[in-house]
Amino acid sequence: MQIDYSRFDHIDTSDSEADEPIAASRLPGQSDHPPAPPANVLDDLEDYFHRLDARRSELEAGLGASLDEESAVPSVERFNDADFRKLVRWRGTEAAECAICLSSLSSDEDGLQLPCAARHTFHEDCVRSWLSRNVTCPLCRVDVRAIVRRRGQSQESGPSVGNESQDSPRAFGYTRDGGVILRYDPRPPPELPRPLYIPFDLHHAAELVEIQYPERGTARVWRVPRNQ
């Protein structure tokens, strides 16, 4: 069964509405299917998901190849001490929330800001623990280790023409048309309500993506990968 994964719940410009949880219940007169996005947003989302699925296939193929080798155990990519030293310390004026421990991050606490497009910020201890086992941002899943290492190389030897494609906006967590990837959750918690257009037997496979389009609002997209 193939799901039309490009349908999305809504795009709005209200900060208060953007923070509201996504509801699975239907309001009176509301259709089972959310309204179609503007054509240019739809095209941008299609491009993002095409690249997302291609990258997933590459990673799965690489993992399978590593498991076929003598070690039979894939290597785990992680941050090292030099990588951590290149991260920006957070000095906020207002309280924020650490998406790892889900507790508040006040201005008098130590925080680290990642170099992804959304500048996601976490408690220092929380993000150190995460990055010691992963190389991606916990929210948007951008490869932040690659970013800090390329920046380090550029500072030491100057910009390299060979890194042009890697240093493109997409590598930092932007979509093709400049949308900022706020969140990509391949396994949202089961208690988070799914939209009505996601079949119940596929709730476990549904992914959640939030992309902010400057001056237009935030698209919240629930989708099921094409291989499901």
- Answer whether residue 193 is part of any domain: yes
Domain hosting 189: range is 175-228
- Answer whether residue 161 is part of any domain: yes
**The pLDDT of residue 163:** 44
Span 117-126, mean pLDDT? 93
Same structural domain, 114 and 197 = no
Same structural domain, 127 and 149 = yes
- Answer whether residue 196 is part of any domain: yes
pTM, rounded to two decimals: 0.74
Domain termination residue (choose one: 169, 190, 208): 169
Domain termination residue (choose one: 143, 169, 195): 169
Same structural domain, 108 and 180 = no
- In SS3 terms, the chain reads as CCCCCCCCCCEECCHHHHCCCCCCCCCCCCCCCCCCCCHHHHHHHHHHHHHHHHHHHHHHHHHHHHHCCCCCCCCCCCCCHHHHHCCEEECCCCCEECCCCCCEECCCCCEEECCCCCCCEEEHHHHHHHHCCCCECCCCCCEHHHHHHHHHHHHHHCCCHHHCCCCCHHHHCECCCCCEEEEEECCCCCCCCCCCCCCHHHHHHCEEEEEEECCCEEEEEEECCCCC
Same structural domain, 150 and 219 = no
pLDDT in tens, 129-187: 999 998 999 999 999 999 998 887 766 555 544 444 566 888 899 999 999 999 999 99
CATH of the domain at 153: 3.30.40.10
Same structural domain, 158 and 206 = no
Same structural domain, 165 and 183 = no
pLDDT in tens, 35-68: 567 788 888 988 998 888 888 788 777 655 544 4
Domain termination residue (choose one: 151, 169, 187): 169
Same structural domain, 200 and 123 = no
Total domains in the chain come to 2
- Answer whether residue 123 is part of any domain: yes
- If one compares 97 and 63, the residue with the highest pLDDT of the two is 97
